[in-house]
Amino acid sequence: MTKQYIFQPAEPVAIPVKGTTQLFPIHRIFCVGRNYMAHAKEMGTTVDKTQQEPFYFLKHPSSYVPNGSEMPYPTRTDNLHYEMEFVVAIGKSGANISQQDAVNHIFGYGCGLDMTRRDLQAKAKDNRHPWDIAKDFENSAILSEIIAIAQSGEITEGIIELEVNGEVRQSSDLNNMIWNVNEIIEHLSTLYTLQPGDIIMTGTPEGVGAVQPDDQIIGFVKGVGELLVKIIK
Ligand code: MN
């Protein structure tokens, strides 16, 4: 008997796989906080890797926006920030994954924007409230196509860059990450059983800033590709 839902459930959210007609269905979107020292410093903090563990927040898959879209300026903020990030797409389930085995759980890579209501995040920090309304809102996860690791090979370094209206605002290298991809997968998989379809946004380098309606953002990660979005009213 077919299930009688009281309304039609949402279609699975899925990301195109570069050079194919296939789609990567999103299960969860994990985001790493403060994973580049220069960004931690610009946010007024620091990271001591010997004393601290990485931390995470999540975005709902429905916050996904495909590459090339227009992003409506969100409600309840006057300080919408871009955060350009390297993205890892998990293709194989696992818990307590070792650093050595981590690469075997990667389906591919992408790049993405962790769009942030920075004013609401600052208020949440002041009040010791969770970050959800600052980070996990509609259209807040703009993600490029995914390139299969079979095509790209393992990626551990390379330029990560972001331009607004043709002006470079963020420029760093993936090898500046405080916790590299293998370390993140090892750590995150002690907290969650990673599943195919899980996305990890690995944190942003320094140079975050505000955008306004009509601004055009172009992001780039070497070996992965480009990401383009226009902010609209
Ligand atoms: Mn971020």
Give the model confidence (pLDDT) of 87-132 as tens digits.
Answer: 999 999 999 999 999 999 999 999 999 999 999 999 999 999 999 9
CA of 3 to the centre of ligand 1 (A): 39
Length of the chain (residues) = 233
Looking at residue 1, its pLDDT comes to 74
Cα(114) to centroid(ligand 1), Å: 5
Q: Residue 146: how many CB atoms within 10 A of its CB? A: 28
Residue type at 3? K
The CA 32 to ligand 1 mean position distance, Å, reads 6
105 C-alpha to ligand 1 centroid (Å): 22
Instruction: State the distance from the centre of ligand 1 to the C-alpha of 19, rounded, in angstroms.
Output: 27
pTM confidence score: 0.97
8 Å CB contact between 78 and 116 = no
CA of 82 to the centre of ligand 1 (A): 9
What are the residues facing 16 on neighbouring strands?
23
Give residue 85 CA to ligand 1 midpoint distance, Å: 7
Place of tokens 């991809």: 181
For residues 60 and 98, is the Cβ–Cβ distance under 8 A? no
Structural tokens at position 146: 């995914």
Which residues pair with residue 71 across a beta bridge?
A: 231
CATH number of 15-232: 3.90.850.10
Closest listed residue to residue 189, CA positions, set 104, 110, 102, 107: 102
Task: Name residue, tokens 């996860």.
Answer: 141
